[in-house]
Chains A and B, each alone.
Chain A
Amino acid sequence: MPRVSFTPHLGRHVDCPDETLPGTTVRQVLTAYFERHPRVRAYVLDEQGALRHHVVVFVGGVQARDRNQLSDPVAEDSDVYIMQALSGG
């Protein structure tokens, strides 16, 4: 099953341990993650379910492209990594 992990920066604000979860798209895998860790959802997605502006998702080291529907495919052995885009200040 796909493995989900997060930038350590997010762990400063909310508990977000690594998990192995079912799913064949970014949406499915993240939905499964948020079922286990509901507080993490609002840190990754906005209230309309889109990826937050400054959050990026990598699937197998490749940046996912569909920021609204999160339809990028996830393979059985993919690593899904959620990190923040870089910003200043």
Chain B
Amino acid sequence: MSSAGSDRLLVSTRKGLFSVVKNGPSGAWQIDRVSFLGDSISMAYHDPRDGRLYGAQYLGHFGVKLQRSADFGEHWEEIAAPAFPAPPEGVVETFADGRPWPWRVEQIWALEAAADGGLWCGTIGGGLFRSAGGGESWTLARGLWDHPGRKQWFGGGAELPGIHSICVDPLDARRLSVAVSCGGVWHSADDGATWELGAEGMFAEFMPPERRNDQGIQDAHRVVRAAANPDRLWCQHHNGVFRSDDGGRRWQVIANVSPSVFGFAVAVDPTDGDTAWLVPAVKDQTRVPVDGRVVVSRTRDAGRTWQVLAEGLPQVQAYDITLRHALDVDGSGRRLAFGSTTGSLWVSEDAGDRWTCLSTHLPPIYAVRFAAPSA
């Protein structure tokens, strides 16, 4: 991630991809383009290396499609979407509970830059895919898919498990970690050829006692890596907030988050791995903001203390929930944005101290990402 700030937001929603830009240093944020109006967009990604924009469609009836634009969405072309190969002849794969596990991409859930100009794509369905570049074609990362530990995964909120976080080491792009709902956190040091599980310290309260500490079934909701200190990772997990200081192998629970430790999203300051933001909610059956107040929680000291940030956010009868991909920070570490399932979108220019509401009327928001800064 560049340390420069970004003036453009990509907001993926149930009814289209919204581009939101800031007009000048002191100007207002405005929606400048809506692409794919009416279509569900699960993820967008702006590749800083070549300026191309990717939008992942989830067409309820007609499957997953991937679109690419070289001009910020003025023109789009449909490119290959990741897809599983045929399973081995005669093999019917099943989950641990005996239900069939189809080799099928249900949704694109993560898009990130890979080494050597490539792209990574994580999917609901459980497949991690790699493109040599530009998304012209995709190959299933067999090293992870064929790992015996993968067979223990199961869906969290969706029928199939999904890879939602791909954390590439900015110092060495061949090192990466991926996080799975529900399947723990996995690490590769060889550009995805081989993988090992590393989620020690995480615990799953919803599991029977003998499986509670099983690393391979942990429901990490979102994992992010600190660009300035790549061994520092943050995780918003189903059962709490965790921090790792060793590249994601061992995790320490951060229990003192106010107003709650439940949530989906987490963001880390790219310039300072001790600073992170969460959007907490009531666990776990209700999933609404605590006391009907939308707040962001921030630490500046690696989780020892937390500030509850509420200025500019609704504090009465507010039921906005922020999903795992709907909080982001730009390269400066000062500008943040988050969106909600009830179509609200907020931006902060001062690391979360104050928030400005850009809309309360967007479609349900799945993902909010800053585009790479203009060259």
Interface residues of A (CB under 8 A from B): 9-10, 13-14, 39, 42-44, 46-48, 52, 54-55, 84-85, 87, 89
Contact = CB atoms under 8 A, between A and B. Distances in A.
A87 B60 contact: yes
Interface in B294-328: none
Given A39-B78, A42-B81, A47 B104 contact: yes
B61 A47 contact: no
Contact of A54 (B14, B61, B84): B61
A52 B59 CA distance: 11
B60 A47 contact: no
22 contacts: A13-B39, A13-B62, A13-B65, A42-B62, A42-B81, A42-B83, A43-B62, A46-B63, A46-B102, A47-B83, A47-B85, A47-B104, A48-B103, A48-B104, A52-B61, A52-B62, A54-B60, A55-B62, A84-B60, A84-B62, A87-B61, A89-B14
A35 to B, nearest CB: 18
Contacts of B65: 13, 42
A13 B14 CA distance: 16
A64 to B, nearest CB: 16
Nearest to B82: A47
Nearest to A42: B63
Given A39-B78, A42-B81, A47 B62 contact: no
Given A43-B59, A46-B104, 12 more contacts: A10-B62, A13-B62, A42-B63, A47-B83, A47-B85, A47-B105, A48-B84, A48-B102, A48-B103, A52-B63, A55-B61, A55-B62
Contacts of B39: 13
Interface in B26-63: 39, 59-63
Contacts of B60: 54, 84, 87
A67 to B, nearest CB: 12
A32 to B, nearest CB: 20
Interface string B61-95: 11101000000000000100101111100000000
A42 B86 CA distance: 14
A39 B79 CA distance: 10
B269 to A, nearest CB: 36
A15 to B, nearest CB: 11
B15 to A, nearest CB: 9
Contacts, number: 47
A84 B83 contact: no
Contacts of A48: 84, 86-87, 102-104
Contacts of B85: 47
A85 B61 contact: yes
Contacts of A9: 61
A43 B61 CA distance: 8
Contacts of B83: 42, 47
Pairs A-B, 8 closest by C-beta atoms:
A84-B61, A47-B83, A43-B62, A54-B61, A47-B84, A46-B104, A52-B63, A87-B60
Contacts of A10: 62
Nearest to A54: B61
A9 B62 CA distance: 10
Nearest to B64: A42
B91 to A, nearest CB: 12
A10 B103 CA distance: 24
A68 B65 CA distance: 21
A43 B63 CA distance: 6
Interface in B177-227: none
Contacts of B86: 48
Contacts of A42: 62-63, 65, 81, 83
B20 to A, nearest CB: 23
A87 B84 CA distance: 26
A42 B64 CA distance: 9
Q: Which of A13, A43, A47 has the most CB of B within 10 A?
A: A47
Nearest to A47: B83
A13 B59 contact: yes
Contacts of A87: 60-61
A54 B62 CA distance: 7
Nearest to A40: B62
A44 B62 CA distance: 6
Contacts of A47: 83-85, 103-105
